[in-house]
Each structure stands twice: as C-alpha cells, then as structure tokens.
C-alpha cells in the first residue's frame, strides 16, 4: 500500500535518511523503530510532505507522493500525529477535531463570510461528526474544554481524533505513547487495535516503548544512523544482533 525506494534525505553534509526501502502492507500495524537520531521522524516527514526527499521514491499504490505538500498528502488519505503534541491550545477539543475536517467541508468563502444557510448546515454537520470522533477516542465528556487543560494522555488521544477526522486510509503515529502512564498506554494499545479493525486503517507507528511495539506490531523496520539495518516480525527483531547492537552497543552482543 505504501512503499519507499532508496529514500534519502540530506541536510547539507548530514544524511539523515539513506537509501531506505520499506513496504507497508494494507491493514497492517507496522512499527518503525531505532535509537534516538536514527532518522525515524525525518522518514515520517518525507512521507507526509513536510520534507522533500533528496532522492528516492515514495509510492502510495502506484502514485508518487514526492513533491506533494502536506495538505495534498492528507487528501490522498495519509494522516499523522506528532512526536511533540501540536494542538491549538486555546481551542476546545471539539474545535481541534473540526480543524482536521477542513478538507471535507463543502461550504465556500462567500457562504462563510455571510453565514448563508449552506454554511450553517455544513457547520452543524461538522460539529456532529467531530463529536463522534471525540466519542470514539473516549473524550466526549471534555468536548468543550480547551485542549491545554487536558491531561497529557487525553491530548495524545485528541491528536488521534483530529487525524481520524480527515478520513485517512493510513495513519502515522509518531511516539503516541510518549509520556503516558501504564494505564493510558494500555488504553492506547486497545485503541490502535480498534482503529485498525473498525476503520480498516493501515497504521504505522514510531515508538520507543518496546513492550508496546513488540505487543502490537505485526512487522517492524529498524533504522540506525539513517539506514535500515533490519526488518521482520517481532520475534525476529528481538533476536537480531544488529538491532541489539544499535540499542545497547557492541558489548551487549559480545556478552550475549
């Protein structure tokens, strides 16, 4: 469903991602892991149009995504959350989700300015749908609260709700469990399974919580210093010496 061929991104003399080839299967839960500085977020940023690759290809089916801006990538059905939460802090939870729906709203500038009946009807429908997504992630009771007042775990789920509101077929989650307590992480795990099964989503996540990764991922790609060093199922990755070395150093492999 999503594929990269020799994907590379350089910043001056630094190559952050180097000739990375991956293939994401439709309907899968796939993880991209690696130590800090491995190039994982840069990889996500290229897929979503934040960065233009220095070279290589990104294919959604048979269609190239290279050169598309983030809003255009979103229209193709790819949504994401961010490593550092990016919500509109002074907007309510409901309003934040409505922002994620903007590309599907049907009213134009003229009807918006003059609050014509078509605008009012579309706005009412948008609010109803936004509330549905808040309900889906378990946040309907805080729909009218400013996002800045929510707990960290709730803000993470609000970001997911906003992404879902864009009606994606592929959802990229950048460290979704960061800062969560064990209870929130368990709820997140259940939500990821639920989203995949209920919404027919393909989910790709970057995550440092290895317990979560090994439990939920069906396939993993491992990056280190911008290069793919391994791929496979969780058990294969757990026992891969290159992966152990990347995380723990050569001495860990020697000791093992």
Q: Could you give all domains of the chain from N- to C-terminal order, each with its CATH number?
A: 1-77+168-256 (3.40.50.300), 86-167 (3.40.50.300)
For 15-43, the pLDDT digits (tens) are 999 999 999 999 999 999 999 889 999 99
Q: What is the pLDDT of residue 83?
A: 79
Q: What is the pLDDT of residue 82?
A: 87
For 215-238, the pLDDT digits (tens) are 999 999 999 999 999 999 999 999
For 93-127, the pLDDT digits (tens) are 999 999 888 665 555 544 544 455 666 777 788 88
- What percent of the chain clears pLDDT 90, i.e. is strictly above it? 72
Q: What is the pLDDT of residue 246?
A: 86
Pairing of strands 14-24, 2-11: antiparallel
d(CA 94, CA 16): 37
The structure's pTM equals: 0.88
**Residues 229 and 243 sit within 8 Å (Cβ to Cβ):** yes
Please report, for the chain, how many H helices and E strands are present, in that order. 11, 10
d(CA 20, CA 255): 30
d(CA 17, CA 41): 10
């Amino acid at each position: 469903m999503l594929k990269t061929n020799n994907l590379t991104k350089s910043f001056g003399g630094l190559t952050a991602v180097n000739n990375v080839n991956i293939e994401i299967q439709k309907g899968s839960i796939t993880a991209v892991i690696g130590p800090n500085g491995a190039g994982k977020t840069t990889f996500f940023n290229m897929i979503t149009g934040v960065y233009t690759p220095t070279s290589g290809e990104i294919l959604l089916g048979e269609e190239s995504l290279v050169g598309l801006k983030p809003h255009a990538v979103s229209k193709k059905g790819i949504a994401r959350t961010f490593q550092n939460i990016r919500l509109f802090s002074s907007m309510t939870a409901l309003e934040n989700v409505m922002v994620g729906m903007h590309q599907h709203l049907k009213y134009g500038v003229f009807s918006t300015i003059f609050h014509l009946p078509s605008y009012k009807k579309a706005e009412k429908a948008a609010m109803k749908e936004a509330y549905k997504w808040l309900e889906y992630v378990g946040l309907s009771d805080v729909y009218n609260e400013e996002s800045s007042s929510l707990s960290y775990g709730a803000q993470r789920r609000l970001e997911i709700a906003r992404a879902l509101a864009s009606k994606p077929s592929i959802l990229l989650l950048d460290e979704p469990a960061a800062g969560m307590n064990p209870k929130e992480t368990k709820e997140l795990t259940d939500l990821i399974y639920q989203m995949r099964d209920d919404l027919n989503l393909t989910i790709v996540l970057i995550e440092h919580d290895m317990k979560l990764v090994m439990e939920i991922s069906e396939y993993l790609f491992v990056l280190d210093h911008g290069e793919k060093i391994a791929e496979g199922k969780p058990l294969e990755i757990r026992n891969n010496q290159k992966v152990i070395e990347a995380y723990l150093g050569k001495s860990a492999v020697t000791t093992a």
